[in-house]
A = this chain, B = another copy of it.
Amino acid sequence: MAVKREIQASVKDQKLVEMRRGQMIRGAVSLFKQKGFHRTTTREIAKAAGFSIGTLYEYIRTKEDVLFLVCDSIYERVQNRLSSIDLETGSLQDLKLGIAHYFRIVDEMQDEVLVMYQEVKSLSNEARSYVLKKELEMVGMFDQLIRRCAENGELSLTRDHQKMLAHTIFVQGQMWGFRRWALQKTYTIDEYIRLQTDLLFPESSSKGLAEIGG
């Protein structure tokens, strides 16, 4: 588990810091969504957060801090929602449910996921690695689910294949968000889930990939 990366605040009252940063993040996400990190000014963030530019700087040190806070909070929320998945039982059925659950979270938090997806690269190296570490934790969740399936014989994959599959699943979730311009014109989230699941596990519908829908 990654160590908490602290953003310095001048204000001491931790409850207040938490609250102000909440406002800040909500405002910033909505702005980044519209215009991206670089085109959003700190003044706009302060205004959207409901306080002055001076106050903003009482709770962060640089503009980049806002971006970090935003990315961090988004991962936190995704991870939170993902945590309802039971990693222990681990049948193929559970894996599929996990995937469906994850895809639906991405669908619901589309804007946030997109923002994070497009802006992490603007973080400093340190902040970026911190955030990406969280991403790997999520990939790890899928890896574990897949592993269980391998262990109970429902999937027969090498460790390398398992890990790659976990990565692929994770990216396919994000893909629903970052390729929405192409995908969401054609499919609903439910169709997307069904199609991708079919492609990932053709045999599980007792058909090979060669026979899906055949």
Residues of A within 8 A of B (CB): 36, 38-39, 118, 121-122, 132, 135-136, 139, 154-158, 160-161, 163-165, 167-168, 171-172, 175, 179, 181-183, 186-187, 191-192, 195-196, 198-204, 207-214
Contacts and interface: CB of A to CB of B under 8 A. Distances in A.
A190 to B, nearest CB: 13
Given A156-B213, A210-B154, A168 B199 contact: yes
Contacts of A187: 160, 164
Contacts of A198: 161
Given A167-B183, A179-B167, A156 B196 contact: no
Contacts of A214: 156-157
B202 A208 contact: yes
A208 B204 CA distance: 9
A209 B203 contact: yes
